[in-house]
Amino acid sequence: MRFAKITDRVANLAANKWAVHFEGKQRRDAGEKLIFLSIGEPDLPPAPAILEVAAKKMQAGRTRYSGGNGEAPLLDALSKHYTKQTGRAIAPDQFLFLPGTQTALAVAFLSIIEPDDEVILLDPYYATYEAVISAPGGIPVSVRLDADRGFHPDVARIEHAITPRTRAILLNSPSNPTGAVFTEAEIRDISALAVKHDLWIVSDEVYATLIHGDEKFYSPFFDKALEERVIVCSSISKSHALPGFRAGWIAASAAYCEKVISVSETLLFGSPQFLQDATAYALTHEFAETREMQRLYVARAKALLKGLRGSNKVTARMPEGGMFVMVDVRKTGLSGEAFSLRLLREKNVVTMPGESFGLSAAGHLRVALSVDEAEIAEAARRIAELAAEII
């Protein structure tokens, strides 16, 4: 039988990147005890109050069809959330509610690019970005970020990569995998390029609430003048430790949402009502659990860095945001993939090789801050131990 070309465009774009993780899962399923630091899934429980809202609303019959872009209470909650975040008025008609950031990204690129259009991708990048660009026929164009500069963008490099076929720039700050939080000046400079070359900006902001230290989150969506070209994709997966809810959205101009609702409804005609209710509640209340989650991510990152401090072969820097640390293993002479495989097979620690996230992350490991401080410290000890054994 004949298949559509999309099946070839996205084939194997992500599966091989998770090889170390899958091997670790197989060993764990066989009964081995491993330290899992490969997946960015919060290990901490969500606020019980959010779960109670979902359960009560479901039991009350909020399980019927809903509108394609989200119901009024949810859209009002998103409006209030983004009005507070951006410092400017964001209306309820500026959102599309979707099952998670991944679907939001897919809808974004389905709605703005044609086959052979190019999208600037800052490397390192999340493992599925190539697929969401390639699915509608787009061409990912990687712009390398320098590890020794903390993986912050070089605007001149970005502009050099722009061609007449470029249609968009994909941003992710705080970054998965690097933990970099782009400065306001960097975002403004990239936005100026988008204006100059008439490009869309797709901004993955799923880690926007997880800012560490003195860093400040800044989005191109903060600037009213950029609203017509900015598409924000986000969710409560990481901010509220609810990845299984699949509760995400697009924030953009009202004109964009009106134009794109038909694309969104082609994929999903209405999200579950009870999940919308729980999301609205999450966005309009404060929770001790979310504050504690952020505190623990910082404490875990510090524990990892402390455990690596004595090594002369592996190093790491404190992430500026998010829930990952990049560990530099280049001085061992091994690739990130080779090191991570040995780390799994010899030390029972599961990480993600940097090469899964692009060329710029080669020679690194991405470590998820998804276990407690004691396990993180033990993982750091094993990483340093393996590095010392490599001649």
229-259 pLDDT tens trace = 999 999 999 999 999 999 999 999 999 999 9
Mean pLDDT of 140-161: 96
CATH 3.90.1150.10 residue window(s) in the chain: 6-45+288-389
Are 72 and 273 within 8 A, CB to CB?
Answer: no
Residue-wise pLDDT for 203-228, tens only, equals 999 999 999 988 899 999 999 999 99
What pLDDT does 354 receive? Answer: 96
Give the mean pLDDT of 112-141. 96
Q: How confident is the model at residue 12 (pLDDT cuts 50, 70, 90)?
A: confident
**Structure tokens given for 255:** 């004109």
Q: What CA–CA distance (Å, rounded) separates 96 from 81?
A: 14
Q: Which pLDDT score is estimated for 14?
A: 66
Nearest to 26 by CA among 13, 36, 11, 12: 36
Closest CA to 9 of 101, 126, 84, 109: 109
Confidence class for position 89, pLDDT limits 50, 70, 90: very high
Tokens of 312: 């002369």
Which residues, in sequence order, are bridge partners of residue 101? none
Residue 15 pLDDT greater than 70, yes or no: no
pLDDT (mean) for 327-331: 97
Residue 11's pLDDT band, with cuts at 50, 70 and 90, is: confident
The segment(s) of the chain belonging to CATH 3.40.640.10 are 64-283
CA distances from 389 to 33, 313, 346, 348, 358 (A): 22, 10, 11, 15, 27
Report percent pLDDT > 70 for the chain: 99
Question: Topology of 6-45+288-389 in CATH?
Answer: Aspartate Aminotransferase, domain 1 (3.90.1150)
Residues 61-74, mean pLDDT to the nearest whole number = 92
Q: What is the mean pLDDT of the chain?
A: 95
Reported as a single tens digit per residue, the pLDDT across 40-57 is 899 999 999 999 999 999
Helix 336-347 and helix 373-389, axial crossing angle in degrees, nearest 10 = 110
Mean pLDDT, rounded, for 138-148: 96
The residue-averaged pLDDT of 55-64 equals 96
Q: Indicate the fold that domain 64-283 takes in CATH.
A: Aspartate Aminotransferase; domain 2 (3.40.640)
Q: Which of 17-21, 30-34, 193-197 has the lowest mean pLDDT?
A: 17-21
> What was the pLDDT predicted at 95?
98
What distance in Å separates the CA atoms of residue 288 and residue 241, rounded to the nearest whole number? 13
User: What average pLDDT does range 366-389 have in this prediction?
Assistant: 97
* pLDDT at residue 320 greater than cutoff 80: yes
